Amino acid sequence: MSEIFDVNRIIIFVLVSILIVAFSWRSLKNPAHHGFYRFFVFEGILLIIVLNIPYWLDSLKSPIQLLSGFFLLTSIYLVIRSLSTMKTLGGKRAIDKMPENYNFENTTNLITTGIFKYIRHPMYGSLLFLAWGALLKHLTWYGLILAIGVSFQIYRTAKKEEEENIAFFGEAYINYMQQTKMIIPFIF
């Protein structure tokens, strides 16, 4: 457990946390907004990554490292596909209704094609795969507890965002929810 208290990793954690706070500042002022919960997801994933930095490149051909790599590549794929689709098909809505949102979140169109045909929250899916991929770099009991906690926070964030989406898109979003999985295609 003394490996957790490596000074370099603590410095990295603090510096990146400052960036996450800066990115999340508007959301942190409103606990009723999905971004408030997302902040804790970012911090949890950062902690998992920082804890596992020394092991990131160990035994890259081992089965657990291959699974980790698959999860990390899946994470990258999901975030790229979702941002691309949102930019192309999402449209823009005024930010004054939800000032905590970022421009890419303020879509006027309900997107139900591309990756969104299979899951409603591909970016949260990306974060889920990132957390578990980072965990598998060096599996520990405290890392496992963190990954479970992050997974729970991702779920809470998605549920909160769904409340916001129902308020904005109405019945169309409720119908969409019945036709798709939440975070992992074909599974959940």
Neighbours of 14 (CB within 10 A): 10
d(CA 173, CA 165): 7
**How is the chain split into domains, by residue range?**
2-179
- Based on C-alpha coordinates, what's the Rg of the chain? 17
Q: Is the pLDDT of residue 163 over 70?
A: yes
Average pLDDT over residues 76-100: 81
Where does the pLDDT of residue 185 fall: very low under 50, low under 70, confident under 90, or very high at 90 and above?
A: confident
Give pTM, 2 decimals: 0.90
Give the pLDDT of residue 99.
67
